[in-house]
Amino acid sequence: MNDQREFAPLLEIFPQGLVALDLETTGLSPLIDRIIELAAIKVTKEGVTVFDTLIDPKIAIPDFTTDIHGIRDEDVNGKPFLSDVLPQFKEFIGELPLIAHNAKFDAGFLVFAAHQQKFELTQNDFYCTVKASRAAFPEMPNHKLGTVAKELDLPLENHHRATDDALASLHLFNKALAGDKVKKVLKDSYMFKLSDFKKNKFPPLPEKLQVLRKKVESQVLIDIKYKGGSHKGKYRPIKPVALLPMPEGNILYGLCLLSNLYKSFSLLKIQDIKELNAEEIAQRYKNLKEITSKNS
């Protein structure tokens, strides 16, 4: 993996180079979960280099995540801690632009880990290849990495392992930039600078929202009362997905059943959380299935 010539479209736009990265984790929430594998592939005019390491998260890896990426507790026992890996990773990426598939998740894990380690964030621009795929290839049945790789014949041998996913994301971004929608791809896929997260002071989860931890882990439907949006001040059914740090503050990311859209809800604007009984959950899931089938 050292021939950069196949990434000519990418290097024409990013002449200094670019880094594709991917993480495997114990779950989807950076505010709760831990990184267990970190990989990055750097492309410059000098060649292609790889950074890849397993990481001991100091906690047990849940079975449901092992079922996805195949990484077990015994695989990470004795591996470096994240505090040892971050300085090496920072040196590897420098201040080059970064890309990742579903970048808000990868960036969220990196910046929250850096905050916990009191590690200085860099100025790197961050792009999302999901958004790049939507901009360049709107005809795709969906923009999951596995689907896009298959449709575009991109290399993806071991899906849900960090190096393979990072490589597939790199090829995807390169292909998106080789078309006639370069400006749109760059505009739509740009997310933020890592240093933008300095605005977020990462306050601890308020006591009244502690219930979100278990609800996010189980992704059980809840009602939230939210100070904002078209349903302002009223309860709305949400299927929680993750607790994420963002530059403007920490958020709950989840599926809103009122709109059938994945949305971000500022934790500071969640006024109340109502846990649902079995009958209410069954009814909400019925509604969710009906909404999903109508829009699939």
Annotated active-site positions, please?
A: 160
At residue 142, the 3 state secondary structure works out as coil
CB 37 within 8 A of CB 71: yes
Count of CB atoms situated within 10 Å of the CB of 60:
9
The neighbouring-strand residues paired with 266 are 251
Residue that has been written with the tokens 């882990």 in this structure: 217
Q: What is the DSSP letter of 217?
A: H
Q: Which residues make Cβ contacts (< 8 Å) with residue 286, sequence separation at least 6?
A: none
**Residue of 32, 48, 39 whose CA lies nearest to 174:** 48
CB 102 within 8 A of CB 108: no
